[in-house]
Amino acid sequence: MLRWILLVMITISSSIQAQTISPLWQQVPGYKPLDVGSTQEVSLWLNERTAKKVGSIVLLPDWGNRPTDDDAIEPLRQQLPNWGWQTIAITPPQPAKRDVLVEGKDTQAIDDYQKQLLASLDALNKARSEQFGYQVVVAQGAMAAWVIRIYAQRQRPLPDALVIIDSYYPNLALNKAIASELAQLTCPVYDLYFRDANNWALSGVETRRIAMQRAQKSDYRQSEIQSAPYLAVSGNLLAKRLYGWLSSLGWN
């Protein structure tokens, strides 16, 4: 039933772009409307399913994706609560002029979108009645690039750990900048990428590894995920890989 609901949701126009939220979201377990200024955005909350609360993980899907899209975010959202983590997934705000942002020349447009994203993250923190344990941020695709930029500029305090998945930005100069910005962060970083990721994401893999090695970041790890014929299998592998890394930090 839930799969049918999600398939129907894909056929409707983007709820974020229209500044309205489809009533179908109310049938998704863990759904909460997130008040961001005068608008509402989608957020999905799942509590830990164990007696011990390890911490919270904020999940940011790639640009244009919903948290329930069948890629990396949904398996993490569903499985990490089995290991003591609360998961909170949101849909990043959609820019009014995405093409302008991709070109990377309009600094005002870049600043405006960054403010939108910061407003969403701040609203999420405000909605959390309590913060416990370790605080982790997982960002996918272009959202990983934006989050790295925010933390490198000290726009917000660093989480206890940052996980990036298929990190990229669809602009040559800005995509290269991700590596140097990432090297400025002092928190543990797990850099994951799928073998069949897009060319933008794959082109930055070696650059990030070298930058972190030069910066002598001992708490940085990079791993490739071999994509399986079925996305669900790849997602399960990703969840286990992430859980293993978090456990290696002593967080279990």
The pLDDT value recorded for residue 252 is 75
First to last CA, the chain: 34
* Residue numbers of the chain with a pLDDT score lower than 70: 1-20, 70, 228-232
Contact 227, 71 (CB under 8 A): no
The predicted pLDDT at position 93 comes to 86
Among residues 41, 35, 56, 60, the alpha carbon closest in space to that of 126 is found at: 35
Burial of 195 (0-12, 13-18, 19+ CB in 10 A): exposed
Q: What is the pLDDT of residue 6?
A: 45
Query: How confident is the model at residue 232, as a pLDDT?
Result: 65
